[in-house]
Chains A and B, each alone.
Chain A
Amino acid sequence: MEQKRRIRSAVCFAALGAALLALLALNLAIGTARLPLREVWNILLRREGDNAAIVWGIRLPRLLTAALLGGALAVSGFLLQTFFGNPIAGPFVLGISSSAKLVVALVMVASLARGAAVSSLGMVVAAFCGAMLSMGLILLASRRLKSMALLIVCGVMIGYICSAVTDIVVTFASDSNIVNLHNWSLGSFSGKEWRDVGMEAVIVLAALLGAFLLSKPMGAYQLGEGYARSMGVNIRRFRAELIALTGVLSACVTAFAGPISFVGIAVPHLMKQMFRTAKPILMVPACFLGGGVFCLLCDLIARTLFAPTELSISSVTAVFGVPVVLWMLLARQKRKEGV
């Protein structure tokens, strides 16, 4: 059985790796200008050719952004689910993405009004503040609300308020900035420069490492806080670390790509079913890879389905994510009824 499990995990990781590579290649090749794979390969190796600018300047930064941020979303969803012991917790559902978006929008409008552009780092910091704000509200509420369903409702409400205020801010922003702000607030992986990709990679990979190192206490925490404490987990520190990591990951996503829905719930669930386990030491890397694959696929669809018109990434992730979430809820209900 131990042997079987190891084989299963190895096969799953291999499959995820293969899917990731295939989607990377497809994303490089497919687009307004359709490039043969051989040409893509040559451009990647030699960095020269007629279409080098498309591959190196546009497609590569975009797909790396999609892979990194998709992974970050899935991992932050998994962390939140572990924290709240609830499978439908996620950065979007709990209003964390929306409040990060609100603070970023406010900062953007305020600084654009003074004629200064916000740096990428500034955006991340603003998003982190916003994420922590709603996380704080949710934690306060979770002391009072023992029911997980009510907590989720609370998060959804926070999300609505933040979105409404963001819309108001966008409405009153000066005309020239609206287009920019509006596009961002819908969510997109496009228009990334290499500098952005570098920063995304540093932040996301550092947080990923942090999450991986927390996998041992997370495993204990899955049995409940009481048991975790009796096994020697420093609960206060563990919770603080988990919240900070979740905040960093969802803030990074929101700052660079805007709010993206359902990846944080759907991907961890798909990974758990695929690996048939919820062990954090496997789930953290699996969610990262799975989130990358999921977002690369969604971005490919968003770019190409109605080309040259691009869809917002959130509409595509929702179309694929919602059925997964519904399937999960129904399956859980069935299990509870002991069918």
Chain B
Amino acid sequence: MEDAFLQTEGLSVGYGGVPVITGIDFAAHSGKVLTLIGPNGAGKSTILKTLIRQLSPVGGTVYLGGRDMAAMPALDMARSTAAVLTGRPAPELMSCGDVVATGRYPYTGRLGILSAEDRRIVAESMELVQVSELRDRDFERISDGQRQRVLLARAICQEPKLLIMDEPTSFLDIRHKLDFLHLLRRLVREKGIAAVLSLHELDLAQRFADTVLCVSGGRVDRVGTPEEIFQGDYVARLYGVEHGGYDALFGGVECEKVAGTPEVFVIGGGGGGIPVYRKLQRERVPFAAGVLQRSDLDYPVASALAAELFTVPPFAPVEGPALDAALARASRCSRVVCAVPAFGPLNEGNRAILDDARRRGVLEENAAQRFP
């Protein structure tokens, strides 16, 4: 594409001439968010540090706006690329306004005195990131969420075309993570900045990235849209998840299933079974679940956690051999939990399991979720 601001060609990154990751080819486009994901120690930070010239590349080339980055003067580089780094800087006696104003560094003169124009841009950046009211507060005495915003304002104030961020959401709680990423995506679009960041939160990467770059095992394993990356069990394999699973569709994790002969049978469906499955897993009780359509909301969790699962095809009524097998299994369980509040045309078959359990006096009704 034409608007790729950042382009790497056969880039190898590492420390002291020893490559950690080789053959890195990707492009970051203006107005888009590119997210690096991958296990700890895979080298996400190493790539990012190379892109801001904190490390020199072991091999290959990085192009910024068509220019070879290695040959760019420090000042040109600083005018095109800004960074939000990991760690918590603790400058003594600096107000948030002072911290943001350091972003004007590449534009001020020998003594770094701000012009009226510089001051206007500082104020504007703080306004955009909604930290104007923090201007006179001590930077060391604000919350983690506020600090990341102030550092983002600092980077914006540098008027970059490329914004590099190393795990900017690490210290934030879920609300501040969402706020930060919403803000980032808005800024990136409005200002036409190409953003490259690493994230540990896969669910957020899936929702906020335009492009996802997967780093693992010394190479860039895949590059693609979130839709391409987050499907099937690819992500679980990327991270080498052994205990449990990662659900690519919802971006959720499940623990490892409890194997063994089922002691409990759960009549699930429509999402009602999910809390029951998780509770039984926590209590290390092997259980069977069914009968579910493979299109049911319960299905991904049940298939991850149930020792035995009885299913029928998507949108098909509960009947036939699956129901017979489920009935046989339920009759041998010492407890049957009914997690659905109602039966309809598709799951009417499950009523037979319920009736049998009630007759045997082992039924527990646990329909926590009421359907709207």
* Chain B binds chain A: yes
Residue positions of A touching B, CB distance < 8 A: 1, 87, 212-213, 215-216, 219-220, 222-224, 226-227, 229-234, 272, 276-279, 281, 335
Which of B81, B99, B111, B113 is within 8 Å of A230, CB to CB?
B81
Which has the most chain A C-beta neighbours within 10 Å: B82, B106, B111, B135?
Answer: B111
Cβ of A318 to closest chain B Cβ, rounded Å:
24
Stretch of B83-91, B200-208, B293-301 lying at the A interface: B83-91
Kindly list chain A residues whose C-beta atoms are within 8 Å of the C-beta of B111.
212-213, 215-216, 281
CA distance A276 to B138 in the complex (A): 11
Q: How far is the CA of A277 from the CA of B78 in the complex (A)?
A: 26
Among residues of B, the one whose C-beta sits closest to the C-beta of A276 is B93
Closest to B77 in A: A232
Given contacts A1-B136, A226-B83, A230-B78, contact A216 B52 (CB under 8 A): no
Residues of A within 8 A of B113 (CB): 281
Interface presence of B98 (CB below 8 A): yes
Is B243 positioned at the interface, with any CB of A under 8 Å from its CB? no
| Interface mask (B22-61 → A, CB under 8 Å = 1, otherwise 0) | 0000000000000000000000000000001110000000
Other-chain residue from B93, B99, B106 in contact with A223 (beta carbon distance below 8 A)? B99
Task: Decide: B136 and A229 in contact? CB cutoff 8 A.
Answer: no
Residues B85 and A231 in contact, CB atoms below 8 Å apart: no
Cβ–Cβ contact B135 & A1, under 8 A? yes
A223 to B87, CA, bound (A): 11
Complex interface: chain A residues within 8 A of B331 (CB): none
**Mask: chain B, 308-345; 1 = CB below 8 Å from A; 0 = not:** 00000000000000000000000000000000000000
CB contacts (< 8 Å) of A212 on chain B: these are 111
Which residues of chain B are within 8 angstroms of A232 by Cβ–Cβ distance?
74-75, 77-79, 105-106
Give the CA-CA distance A230 to B69 in the complex, in Å: 13
Q: A220 to B99: give the CA distance in the assembly, Å.
A: 9
What A residues does B53 contact at CB under 8 A?
229
Task: List chain B residues, Cβ under 8 A from A277.
Answer: 93-94, 98
Q: Is B170 an interface residue (CB 8 A)?
A: no
CB contact between A222 and one of B74, B77, B94, B108 (< 8 Å): that residue: B94
Docked complex Cα distance between A222 and B139 (Å): 12
Q: Do A233 and B112 contact each other (CB < 8 Å), given the known contacts A223-B89, A276-B93, A277-B93?
A: no
Residues A231 and B87 in contact in the complex (CB < 8 Å), given A272-B92, A277-B93, A281-B112? no
Q: CB of B245 within 8 A of chain A? A: no
Contact status A216-B112, CB under 8 Å: yes
Q: Please determine whether B112 and A231 come into contact, CB atoms closer than 8 angstroms.
A: no
Contact of B105 among A87, A216, A278 (CB under 8 A): A216
Whole-angstrom distance between the alpha carbons of A212 and B113 in the complex? 13
CA distance in complex: A220, B105 (Å): 8
Q: Across the interface, do A227 and B85 meet the contact criterion of CB distance under 8 Å?
A: yes
Residues of B within 8 A of A216 (CB): 105, 108, 110-112
B103 within 8 Å of A (CB atoms): yes
Given A223-B102, A278-B93, residue A230 in contact with residue B75 (CB < 8 A): no
B124 contacts chain A at the CB level, 8 A cutoff: no
B187-223 interface (Cβ within 8 A of A): none
Q: Which of A1, A223, A231, A278 contacts B158 (CB 8 A)?
A: A231
Would you call B140 an interface residue if the criterion is a C-beta within 8 Å of the partner chain's C-beta atoms? yes
Residues of A close to B110: CB separation below 8 A: 213, 216
In the complex, what's the smallest C-beta–C-beta distance from B61 to chain A, in angstroms?
20
Q: Which B residues are in CB contact (< 8 Å) with A229?
A: 52-54
Report the Cα distance A213→B99, complex, angstroms: 20
Q: Which residue of B lies closest to A223 (CB)?
A: B89
Nearest CB in chain B: distance from A160 CB, A:
29
In the A-B complex, the 6 residue pairs with the smallest Cβ-Cβ separation, listed nearest first, are A232-B78, A216-B112, A231-B105, A230-B83, A232-B74, A278-B93
A243 vs chain B, min Cβ distance (A): 20
A226, A272, A335: which contacts B85 (Cβ < 8 A)? Answer: A226
Interface centre among A215, A226, A234, A272 (most CB of B within 10 A): A226
A230 to B103, alpha carbons, bound, how many Å?
10
Chain A positions within 8 Å of B79 at CB level: 232
Q: Residue on B with the closest CB to A82?
A: B92
Q: List 23 A-B contacts (CB under 8 A).
A: A1-B136, A212-B111, A216-B105, A216-B112, A219-B112, A220-B102, A222-B92, A222-B94, A223-B91, A224-B85, A224-B89, A226-B54, A226-B85, A229-B52, A229-B53, A229-B54, A232-B77, A234-B74, A272-B92, A272-B93, A277-B93, A277-B94, A278-B91
C-alpha spacing A213/B111, complex, angstroms: 6
Question: In whole Å, how far is B195's beta carbon from the nearest beta carbon of chain A?
Answer: 15
Chain B residues lying within 8 Å of A281, measured Cβ to Cβ, are 111-113
List of B residues within 8 angstroms of A279 by Cβ: 98
**CB <8 Å contact, B112 and A230:** no
Are B103 and A231 within 8 A (Cβ)?
Answer: yes
Residue in chain B with minimal CB distance to A229? B54
Bound Cα distance from A276 to B93, whole angstroms:
7
Asked if A227 and B102 make an inter-chain contact with CB atoms under 8 angstroms apart, the answer reads yes
Which residues in A have their C-beta under 8 angstroms from that of B105? 216, 220, 231-233
